[in-house]
């Protein structure tokens, strides 16, 4: 019985964190992840020895 109560408590805690996330970002975590993946920029790999000079 104790294990079941402990599990229920953990599930409630996770649901509360998900609800907090949805309030903060205005979307479920799955949609947030999808938007992140869609907006990722791809940067070309630099060859070894290539240096970038900072602009002054």
Question: What pLDDT, in 10s, does the model give residues 27-55?
Answer: 999 999 998 888 876 555 665 665 565 66
Domain ranges of the chain: 2-36
Tokens 């799955």 — which residue? 30
Reported for 23-32, long-range contacts at CB under 8 A and 24+ positions apart, including other chains, are: none
Residue 5: its pLDDT value, please? 93
Q: From the CB of residue 11, how many other CB atoms can be counted at a distance below 10 Å? A: 10
Distance CA 9, CA 7 (A): 5
Give 3: exposed, middle or buried? Use CB within 10 Å, 0-12, 13-18, 19+. exposed
| Length of the chain in terms of residues written | 56
The first and second tokens of residue 53, run together, are 């000079």
């Amino acid at each position: 019985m104790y294990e079941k109560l402990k599990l229920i408590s953990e599930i409630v805690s996770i649901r509360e964190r998900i609800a907090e996330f949805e309030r903060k970002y205005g979307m479920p975590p799955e949609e947030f992840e999808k938007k992140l993946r869609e907006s990722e920029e791809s940067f070309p790999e630099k060859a070894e020895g290539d240096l970038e000079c900072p602009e002054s």
